[in-house]
Amino acid sequence: MRTPLTAPFDPHPEQSSRSAIRKALRHRRRSLSQAQQKKSAAQMAQHLLASPSLYRARHIAVYLANDGEIDPAPYLRAARSRGIQFYLPVLHPFRDGHMVFTPFTESTILRPNRFGIPEPVFDGPENRPAWALDAVLLPLVGFDLDGGRLGMGGGFYDRTFAFVRRTPRLAPKLIGLAHEIQRVARLPIEPWDIPLQGIVTEQRRYDLQ
């Protein structure tokens, strides 16, 4: 019997490594049509707009969708009227493997970084440190309902937000955004993985902490 695409991804033992799960889930999300992507992004935006976790947030980090990631752009367009300042991650020029966050508006000029991902130009005075954000909407490859997140493997978000283990009172809300088909029954977790406090898909909002 064929497993429905909407069912949680449950890897076979030979596919249970993080790299194998990542490969399978990237294929899953890239298999979605442009129409499905557009519909999912619009549905997710409605869940985000209704989220109590974001109601008081005024400084929110987001991302530019790539590689089949669910697109937060419809949410940004709707939420700007609430007076929210959005930020994009920028590779830190002095701390390798870390990120800072630069204001993102409709007129922001973007340039590809060393990975070919568009990002704003690094601007010291305008940058906001990770601890000064109210919320972070993170891209992900896979997630489980224990707050586990599987990213692309670079570890940038985990290193940047490692401080939340030492000083949780300074931690912004970490909310993963994904297609429901990226849900995994259980992810293999590493000690350095920073757990998510919530996940939002096109189908629903998961409040985990």
pTM (2 decimals)?
A: 0.89
Q: Is the pLDDT at 204 greater than 60, yes or no? A: yes
| 153 labelled binding-site residue | yes
> pLDDT confidence of 155, banded at 50, 70, 90?
confident
pLDDT digits (tens, 9 = 90+) for 71-97: 999 999 999 999 999 999 998 777 777
**Structural domain spans, the chain:** 37-207
Selected residue with higher pLDDT from 152 and 7: 152
Contacts of 129 (CB under 8 A, 6+ apart): 100, 101
CATH for the stretch 37-207: 3.40.50.10420
The whole-number average pLDDT for the span 123-142 is 90
Distance CA 77, CA 124 (A): 26
| 33 labelled binding-site residue | no
The whole-number average pLDDT for the span 159-180 is 90
Q: What is the number of other CB atoms lying within 10 angstroms of the CB of residue 34?
A: 7
| 63 labelled binding-site residue | no
| 150 labelled binding-site residue | yes
Instruction: Classify burial at 12, counting beta carbons within 10 Å of its beta carbon; exposed 0-12, middle 13-18, buried 19 or more.
Output: exposed
Which of these, 79, 12, 21, lies nearest to 45 by C-alpha position?
A: 79
pLDDT digits (tens, 9 = 90+) for 5-61: 555 665 544 457 889 999 999 999 999 999 999 999 999 999 999 999 899 999 999
Q: Which two tokens mark 88?
A: 């994009």
| 116 labelled binding-site residue | no
| 151 labelled binding-site residue | yes
Q: How many residues does the chain have?
A: 209
| 126 labelled binding-site residue | no
At residue 170, the pLDDT reads 78
| 162 labelled binding-site residue | no
The overall average pLDDT reported for the chain is 89
| 170 labelled binding-site residue | no
| 104 labelled binding-site residue | no
Q: Which residue has the tokens 């939340």?
A: 164
Pairing of strands 110-112, 118-120: antiparallel
| 152 labelled binding-site residue | yes
pLDDT digits (tens, 9 = 90+) for 102-114: 999 988 999 998 8
At residue 7, the pLDDT reads 56
pLDDT digits (tens, 9 = 90+) for 180-197: 999 999 999 888 888 999
| 56 labelled binding-site residue | no
